[in-house]
Amino acid sequence: MRKGRIAGIPAWKRGLLVAVIGLTAVGAAAGIRAREAEDGSAMAMGDASGEERQRSSGPQTKVQSAETKKIALTFDDGPHPRYTQKLLDGLKERGVKATFFLLGTNIEGNEEIIKRMAEEGHLIGNHTYYHVDITKLSQEEACREILDTSKQITAITGQPVEYIRPPFGNWDKELECEVMMLPIFWSVDTLDWTTKNTDQIVQKVVKNIEENDIILMHDSYDSTVLAALRIIDLLQADGYEFVTADELILE
């Protein structure tokens, strides 16, 4: 990451960058072991296209709150021309803001969906252009994956892209590009792309949820959209408040 000018990130956020990334790296191994122990087995991995690949979990450091039970819904790999619209309709009806990490390759043709995300107050982040493990690329290739996607999003929303979810949870904190972005990982992985089973997705979340959890989902499946809206209804009734992911890592 560039150590000089931080484009697009307010000054008050800069001092938090080292701490966020450092704490994430230190806590990652322990967080992964804890989640696997709760699940009783190692997670079967693959990507949203159905190819079997390893998705590394990357627990995010939580900020405990004495006031409300805040959690965040995050969606990777979009936008999807059909299911993302359906999800946005449901979020709007419930007054919920979510976080979307977009793939550059899915942006063209879905510009109106992205405009709607921004207009309705959702957080929009970067998920690289082709869903690649940036730690396996050269610095030039990795930066191109990130910068091309951010430029597309900014051209649509008029806002800088400040956050990234690196595919597979693999982040290179030494990466130097033209901009600096904060990585946002997760603490609950629904594995929605493996089951595509609405009931199983809902149970996995409501059974394991804790305050300040960041939930990983994918807005590429109808089963995920249905599950997400049921999760919101159940957890709102249980006193949880849904916020964008930046609120949990920067509060």
Query: Would you name the residues annotated as active-site residues?
Result: 76, 218
**Number of Cβ within a 10 Å radius of residue 202:** 20
How far, in Å, CA of 64 to CA of 251, rounded?
10
In terms of C-beta density within 10 A (0-12 exposed, 13-18 middle, 19 or more buried), how is residue 85 classed?
A: middle
Could you tell me which residues come within 8 angstroms of residue 151 by beta carbon, excluding any fewer than 6 positions away?
Answer: none
Phi and psi torsions of 73, nearest 5°: -95, 130
Residue whose tokens read 């043709």: 109
H/E stretch holding 125 reads strand 123-126
Rounded distance, CA 179 to CA 17, Å? 13
